[in-house]
Each structure stands twice: as C-alpha cells, then as structure tokens.
Homo-oligomer: A and B are copies of this chain.
Amino acid sequence: MPARAKEPLSRDRVLAAALEVADAEGVPAVTMRRVAEVLDCEAMSLYHYVDKKALLAGLTEAVVGEIAVAALDDLPPAADPADWRDVVRRRCLAAREVMLRHPWAPPLVATQPQPPPTVYPLFEALVATMVDAGCGYELAHRAIHSLGPMLLGFTQELFEPTADDEGAASPQAEAMALAMPYLARLAEVAVHEAEGTIGLCDTQAEFEFTLGLVLDGLEAHRRVGAASAVGAASAVGAASAV
C-alpha cells in the first residue's frame, strides 16, 4: 500500500501509518523506512516527528488509547453503584476485544518502560466506579494493580497443552505423559471438554473466569470494609473458607 495524496506529514499521520503497518505486517515490520514508504516519503523525514523509540511508544499510546476509548464508550453509567462488578467486567472485556484485534500489541506494551498516559482515563473511570460503590481508595488502588495486566493484554493464550493432534502419539509425547501423569490426564479432560469449542482451551472463557475470581475477591474485601483493606486479607480468606 504505497503512496496517497501528498499531504503534509505530522506526528499523527506518522503514527497512523505505523499502526497500519503493525496491523498488516506485525511489529517487526514497523521500521522507519517501511513507515516512510506508506507515507510516500523518505525515512529521514520522519525524524522531525519521532525516532524509532518514540514511534513504538506512540504506537503503544495509540493502542492503549483505543482500549481506553472502547472501554469507556457504550457503557450505561451503572444504574446502581452496587453493580460495580458488572461495569468493571464489561470494561475489561471491551479492553480485551481491542487487544484481540491487535495481537501484536501485548508484547509491545510489555517492552515499554512506562505505560502510556492514555491509560489514565481508563484507570480514572475504574477507580471512580469502585470508590462510588464504597470500595475505598486503598482497595481501588489494589484493584488497579490486579486488573492492570488483564486490561493491558498480558493474559493471552500462553498455554496450549499438547498443541499437536492427540492421535499420533510421538515417542517423546508418550515419555512426557509418563513423566507428568497429572498434566496428561488434564489434557484428556480438556480435549473431552473442548468438543464444540474452537481450540483446546477456550481462552475467552478462561479470561472471564479469572476476571470473575478477581472481581469477586475484591467485592469480598469491600464487604469486610475499606477501613483496613490491607490487613483484612486474612479475614476475607477465613470468611471464604467457612
């Protein structure tokens, strides 16, 4: 996709071109020369707006910004503050959808020294929802830490147990099965369960499950009381164990 109407460059146009390249060809293809080609100019012309590091930082900024927008739009402002878990859940799922559209993004975000400022509106909204629901700032703070990785896409399919076909058991696969009986059994169960779904693991369901664990745990802490959220961890643990 070379060339387009000759229009003056700008930081935004450069970043848009970079995003285009990343979506089409992956992050490694985002080179100064390749982006310049899309903009129908020379690589060195980009340096008036960004160098390579700033280009990748800007790309991160753009994706995270897209996440923030997606997570904040189209949300009924929560009729009842008590429904805070649903609001937060929907925001996290919206964030995940964006990340699934940009599969190259999570490793990129992970390499950045700082999360881009475009996350702050999202964090602000989450904290607001939780505090208004009576969570207290300490708990909201911890919640941001707990949910951050999920929002920023650090929860991807990092686990495809025995991704090969189950039929033709290679000798090494058999050796592994003998050495790790529990995992072998788990793989069997997973295969049995997976009839109907796409892959071996329904990553969407896993994501929602983990999200539910975290949200329910936070809600339990909220109930114990925001006064001493830090020290209350054991109390909650004891309560849930009854």
Contacts and interface: CB of A to CB of B under 8 A. Distances in A.
Interface stretch (A9-17, A29-37, A40-48, A103-111): A103-111
Interface stretch (A73-81, A90-98, A144-152): A144-152
Given A123-B183, A185-B137, A216-B236, A110 B114 contact: no
Interface string A181-195: 011011001100100
A189 B233 contact: no
Given A163-B114, A180-B121, A217-B217, A137 B209 contact: no
Interface string A143-168: 01110110010110011100100000
A208 to B, nearest CB: 8
Chain A to chain B: the 7 pairs with minimum beta-carbon distance, closest first: A213-B217, A154-B154, A145-B206, A124-B180, A146-B210, A137-B189, A127-B182
A133 interface: no
A61 interface: no
Contact of A214 (B128, B158, B210, B220): B210
Interface string A206-242: 1001101110111110000000001001001100110
A157 to B, nearest CB: 9
B213 A141 contact: no
Interface string A55-98: 00000000000000000000000000000000000000000000
A230 B219 CA distance: 20
A140 interface: yes
A197 to B, nearest CB: 11
A interface bracket (residues with beta carbon within 8 Å of B): 35 or more
Contacts of A146: 206, 209-210, 213
A88 to B, nearest CB: 13
Given A107-B107, A111-B107, A193 B138 contact: yes
A183 B124 contact: yes
A54 interface: no
15 contacts: A107-B107, A114-B163, A124-B179, A124-B182, A124-B183, A137-B189, A138-B189, A141-B190, A145-B206, A148-B158, A149-B155, A152-B158, A214-B214, A216-B236, A217-B240
